[in-house]
Amino acid sequence: MTTLTLTPGSVTLADLARVFRDGAAVRLDPSCHPAMIEAQSRIEAAANGSAAVYGVNTGFGKLASVKIASKDTATLQRNLILSHCCGVGDPIPRGHARLMMALKLLSLGRGASGVRLELVDLIEAMLARGVTPLIPVQGSVGASGDLAPLAHMAAVMMGHAEAEYKGETLPGAEALKRAGLTPIVLGAKEGLALINGTQFSTAFALAGLFGAWRAMTSALVTSALSTDAIMGSTAPLQPEIHTLRGHAGQIDAAACMRALLEGSVIRESHREGDTRVQDPYCIRCQPQVTGAAMDVLRMAARTLEIEANAATDNPLVLVGADLIVSGGNFHAEPVGFAADMIALAVAEIGAIAQRRIALIVDPVLSHDLPPFLTPNPGLNSGYMIAEVTTAALMSENKHLANPCVTDSTPTSANQEDHVSMAAHGAVRLGRMVANLERILGVELLCAAQGIEFRAPLTTSGPLARVLAVLRKSVATLGEDRYLAPDLEQAATLVRDGSVVASAGVAMPELSA
């Protein structure tokens, strides 16, 4: 297993993608250890002092006014974790849980949380040896951090709850034992440091972002295929049009589509004598729509990269100012906004793709393609219901794209009276991206079928390579057949990056 050494405060999206997609383990750069040790010494002193310091020698939330004796420090932290293990629902995917753990390491590594190095060592060892806490998907409102999900992680570290190890679901203590690890007894503030924070929401938002970006680049390819299938014009891709407007995403999208369509014989065949003056918006305005979504995803990416490097628990040890201050960095409002932005982009990429599919299967609009792309319409229905399926998925994504961050509700006896709902906003992204991948998979099938009907005219070299990859696993549709496996295979080619890779054209970068 690859192990990444990360420096808190300067970790990139590419680093985080490796943790999520490749399953890389994580260790903190030792250069962050001195600051962590110094902060921990301040917490230890506060725990043994007389002044009330929230979460160190007091109760939590509405119970912050209750003073806790120093002899009860370990019990306080133990009770905090076990009482907060109130997550419900299915366990989250392993990759999301590991990314959440890596994000927690980065937050602790900023040197403001006051935890011992032993705590960090245990999280690093769990990642390296494959001990993954089972984290229920529901229970966070993104207020005082992702309390319930992170508590389930912390409970495993203490030898409670459940974890997955080598394919088995085991009690936390047993999973640690089999991996050669020992449960930890939490010290002053350590339980609070583990469960205060936005790492659950941020992990899901990042996963949604990575999936959305890959789908968006696939949409550039499928939209180029659709343009050629309906013998659309490439005039709207003229670079000066997009430079005059100036939006980076629009400029990038148009440039990519020009490269994808360069050399198409289909395109050259109708430059002269085409009675159509303009294509419908779903063809003509692709750079403007997909490009705008690209810009939104990049804005969300910047927010999430900052959040991934942030100290988000409470209170924070400000060594330079010689203070331990109770604040609100655990409030996941930035993540909630980012998740809502990603959701909007995903919904719009799918909405315009669905209109392209509807265009291709409609003989009135497809420029002489057969109805529903079947060579024998009437006896055969072709891609009629595949298009209906994409309409259902598009509609579902529109509903799911409604903002979550505005849906605050008071919790914890009105102490936490405004919450972000970032977890809701981030978790739904997985379903939305899966819907989008299936929409684009159907577009891939329909556009490929349309291009093949243009024979002997041929498409461009990049798009021909995409068609060749598709036809290795999905045959051209002649007589009607059981279509569900075709749709899923095409979606897989979108999901695993094959659509983009096979085109061989430089794609826009997320960090641009």
Task: Measure CA 11 to chain center.
Answer: 17
- Structure token pair of residue 199: 């790492």
Q: Could you give the angle at the alpha carbon of 257 between the alpha carbons of 252 and 260, nearest 5°? A: 130
- Angle formed by the axes of helices 461-473 and 422-453, nearest 10°: 100
The alpha carbon torsion through 93, 95, 97, 99 (nearest 10 deg) reads -150
Sorted by sequence, the CB contacts under 8 Å of residue 75 that are 6+ apart come out as none
Biggest CA pair distance of the chain: 89
3-state helix, strand, coil in the chain (%, to 5): 60, 10, 35
Whole-Å CA distances, 340 to 146, 164, 232, 303, 332? 17, 31, 33, 12, 12
- Look up 54 and say whether it is catalytic: yes
Q: Which of 54, 281, 383, 482 is catalytic?
A: 54
Helix axes 422-453, 199-229, angle to 10 degrees: 20
Bridging pattern class, strands 88-91 and 3-6: unpaired
**DSSP per residue, 362-399:** -TTTTTSPPGGG-SSBTTB-TTHHHHHHHHHHHHHHHH
Closest C-alpha among 170, 97, 106, 196 to residue 137? 97
DSSP classification of residue 92: P
Active-site amino acid positions: 54
